[in-house]
Structure 1
Amino acid sequence: MTDHSESLFEAVGGLDALRRLSDTFYDAVLADPLLAPVFANFTRGHVEHVAVWLAEVFGGPAGFTAELGGHQSLLRAHLGLSITEEQRTRWMELMAAAVQKELPDDELLRRRVLEYFDWGTRIARDVSAAPVGENLGDPGPTPRWGWDGLI
């Protein structure tokens, strides 16, 4: 049983676990006919960037903000992708399978992680409708997600 007093970052198993989660997930995404076109410019470095983002969101080191441009950079990466609800739903299905495979066997932990992904993918879908170069304004700091959701 996971200690629910620790951060989600600690509970999932840290950066190594988030790397495995991202790697497993993107292997499935790139093989998926519905999602592969969204990731036409995918590089393996994306797996590391996602793991570092998730580490920060889940209460770990703030490496994404310090080294990769923070919240604004993440949102800008989705501009112009025109993500559909069907693609978002498929993304969630593949992530749920990766969570099941890679994260500890703790129902609450997995549910909280998937709740974050559901929340975040809705934002990504909405932002993706804007053209590349759109001024997003200041989205604020990188969001944090804990045992009770958005912190």
Structure 2
Amino acid sequence: MSEKPSTLYEAVGGADALRRLSNTFYEAVLADPVLAPVFADFTPTHIEHVAVWLAEVFDGPTRFTDELGGHHALLRAHLGLQITEEQRLRWMELMTDSVAKELPGDELLQRRVVEYFDWGTKIARTVSADPPGTDVGEPGPTPRWGWDGLR
């Protein structure tokens, strides 16, 4: 019997799997009447940025921090979006479907990944209520999510 990978990044299948997940998810988002308005300024680069963020959160390469501004930049990107709870819940539905489609079928793995998204979307919704340019303070390093949740 093989041991489970030590990180969620390894368990999901690395960067390629996270790109597939992001691509599948955003295809659904952009076609969704509840969520499409939130992503009015969407560009294909967003898919790569999300995959790079998730890689870092799940203990893979630290490219989001090294190249894209880290946790602070992610929070700033959500300012002013005015995300509603209806939109957050719909986001979770579409992401849960995408996780089931694109990631390995391991129940614990999928549960941990979805738990991260639930935690993260609550933060994004809270931050989105503040206008662009709001000082988000120093949020600390990119959060890390493992087999036991937030570390």
- Equivalent position of 1:89 in the other structure: 89
Look up the equivalent residue of 1:16 and give its one-letter code: D
Look up the equivalent residue of 1:139 and give its one-letter code: P
Look up the equivalent residue of 1:94 and give its one-letter code: L
1:108 counterpart = 2:108? yes
1:65 counterpart = 2:65? yes
Look up the equivalent residue of 1:74 and give its one-letter code: L
Consecutive unaligned residues in structure 2, runs of 5 or more: none
Query: Sequence identity, in percent?
Result: 74
CA distances 1:47-99 after superposition (whole Å, capped 9, x unpaired): 00000000000000000000000000000000000000000000000000000
- Equivalent position of 2:134 in the other structure: 134
Deviation at 1:6, TM superposition (A): 1.6
CA contact (8 A) 1:2 1:106 kept: no
Consecutive unaligned residues in structure 1, runs of 5 or more: none
TM-score (ref. length: structure 1): 0.98
Look up the equivalent residue of 1:109 and give its one-letter code: L
1:54 counterpart = 2:40? no
CA contact (8 A) 1:21 1:102 kept: yes
CA distances 1:109-150 after superposition (whole Å, capped 9, x unpaired): 000000000000000000000000000110000000000000
Q: 1:78 to 1:100 in 2, by over 3 A?
A: same
Q: Using the alignment, how far apart are the partners of 2:2 and 2:49 within structure 1?
A: 26
4+ aligned runs moved over 4 Å, structure 1: none
Q: Using the alignment, how far apart are the partners of 2:2 and 2:87 within structure 1?
A: 32
Deviation at 1:2, TM superposition (A): 7.9
TM-score (ref. length: structure 2): 0.98
Q: Using the alignment, how far apart are the partners of 1:64 and 1:105 within structure 2?
A: 27
Q: Secondary structure of 1:77's partner?
A: helix
CA contact (8 A) 2:84 2:125 kept: yes
Deviation at 1:4, TM superposition (A): 3.0
Q: Secondary structure of 1:138's partner?
A: coil
CA contact (8 A) 1:57 1:144 kept: yes
Look up the equivalent residue of 1:18 and give its one-letter code: L
Q: Using the alignment, how far apart are the partners of 1:105 and 1:139 within structure 2?
A: 33
